[in-house]
Structure 1
């Protein structure tokens, strides 16, 4: 009883700074209660992550029929999958059971959900509106857009946490350290680990190439502050980074899922692709440009 009360909701979060309103008010509180109920069991965060992948894929499949009931069930399952995605991280922080492979799996989780959703939406558009197979090119462009948007969002939010911790004990990694870990796994000995870390390396390398001014800033910090980032610099960065959060929140699961749910339930599946390609891509350019200027100022 005493152990339960000693664990606070905030301690189960990475940081309140990086949580948007819907996460703080809905997803995370539910995730916290589930994580607390599992903390003394043999269930691990990675088990939750893998289970959430199956739930998210099932949700995507239910978006195929043009049927409000099945589609609504798909919405419920995707909400459940996102709650589980919160649970794995909160459980890891509550129990201290963390792993590098867990972070990679967690990052791939949403990508697998949406890969299913893109395929299903394409097939639905072909069936409902008799669109040709060219719709898959639109889905591919949408998927690439999503990957880029989610990648940059993850990078900026992980960087924010890195700075709050003074540059130590953070999940923030460079592509070079990930590459070294990738090479420690052989294709013959541990092919699954090698594949996952290879994808993680490509993912991080892409993030770094998109943010040149930020990379120069981080190199400067690491070179001049080997024992940790000064408090004054942390506060200066945090103040500027917090101003970017409302814009970054447009690229989160919560924002895009609202568009997705409306598109599916109102039978306008093409609307989701349109928003990702035509609306969010220009906003991403704005976000990156602002962040790069923020670093220079």
Structure 2
């Protein structure tokens, strides 16, 4: 097997990979994967390292880029995010290579990105706080906090949450349940209720956050939930290949939006806006451009799920 084939064996699917990831991030991540594999490092350890590295970026991005020193600080912050993202790729590739795929790993992987961006948003608030709002004489002050809170909690988290869900749904129909991480709220709630605080408080806490995560995913996708309920009732053991193919045909055109709502697109905008010392452009991009994309993607996905549900109920597969 060639090195390229070995690298591709650690990926989820070409369907859900961006060009930038396939050409740069995944190959570099694979080199790190081999390095950690030789050292017998667990994928979850790599995830924790990515949290620490990405979390440190906020300090460097809190500095203005209006001096040489400030630009250097921003470049360091950007490099830390890139490094953390490489490790975010590495942990999944390492898990697939070693077979060490765990629910805790899935939860940690989702938490890693949150930690990076919370640090980044805090850094940008600190950066903007003493500055004036463009074209006014008003100091940003707490308006910077409001802008970042709106961008982070109301937009960014919803965008990444739904993008992750649609990616897992696509993989579920493409490769089957064993090769997907399409979790549901009821299952995760049952696991949470079974876990005991006194036995494993850390695991209990992670389950608590993940239960909320899956609940939000399902609340945003009512037609998909109806479709999945119809699918499970009609085909409890095995899905017809025609249904799998039909879902993929409808889902694949939306994967480009799934990817743009994930990391690379927003990261590039973040890098540029920080380097030109206009960091407020980044949250505005998330609020205006990415939220418009979010609503379009969700509407299109819900529409075809309704159509497929009707086909399932009519026994057309």
TM-score bracket for the superposition, by shorter chain length: over 0.9
Give the C-alpha shift of residue 165 in structure 1: 2.3
Give the C-alpha shift of residue 195 in structure 1: 1.2
TM-score (norm 2): 0.89
Give the C-alpha shift of residue 60 in structure 1: 1.9
Find the counterpart in structure 2 of residue 276 from structure 1. Answer: 286
CA contact (8 A) 1:166 1:228 kept: no
Q: What is the CA–CA distance in structure 1 between the aligned matches of 2:185 and 2:208, rounded to whole Å?
A: 10
Find the counterpart in structure 1 of residue 13 from structure 2. Answer: 15
> For residues 201-223 of structure 1, what are the alpha-carbon distances to aligned partners after superposition, in whole Å with 9 as ceiling and x for unaligned?
11111110111110011111111
Aligned CA distance change for structure 1 residues 157 and 6 (closer, same or farther; 3 Å): closer
Once structures 1 and 2 are overlaid, which stretch shifts more, 266-275 or 5-14? 5-14
> For residues 70-127 of structure 1, what are the alpha-carbon distances to aligned partners after superposition, in whole Å with 9 as ceiling and x for unaligned?
1011111110100000000000000111111010000110011000111110110013
Q: What is the CA–CA distance in structure 1 between the aligned matches of 2:282 and 2:3, rounded to whole Å?
A: 43
Find the counterpart in structure 1 of residue 149 from structure 2. Answer: 140
SS at match of 2:239: coil
Residue 216 of structure 1, aligned match among 220, 226, 230: 226
Aligned CA distance change for structure 1 residues 65 and 169 (closer, same or farther; 3 Å): closer
CA contact (8 A) 1:7 1:94 kept: no
Residue 77 of structure 1, aligned match among 77, 80, 88: 80
Q: What is the CA–CA distance in structure 2 between the aligned matches of 1:31 and 1:108, rounded to whole Å?
A: 19
CA contact (8 A) 2:171 2:179 kept: no
Larger radius of gyration: 2
Find the counterpart in structure 2 of residue 91 from structure 1. Answer: 94
Listed as ranges, the gaps of 5+ residues in structure 2 are 65-69, 133-138, 308-317
The count of residues paired between Structure 1 and Structure 2 equals 295
Residue 37 of structure 1, aligned match among 32, 35, 38: 35
Matching of residues 82-161 of structure 1 within 5 Å: 82-129=85-132, 130-144=139-153, 145-161=155-171
- What CA RMSD, in Å, does the superposition of the two structures yield over aligned residues? 1.6
Once structures 1 and 2 are overlaid, which stretch shifts more, 125-134 or 40-49? 125-134
Residue 190 of structure 2, aligned match among 180, 186, 189: 180
> For residues 3-41 of structure 1, what are the alpha-carbon distances to aligned partners after superposition, in whole Å with 9 as ceiling and x for unaligned?
x96971111011111111111111111101211222232
SS at match of 2:142: coil
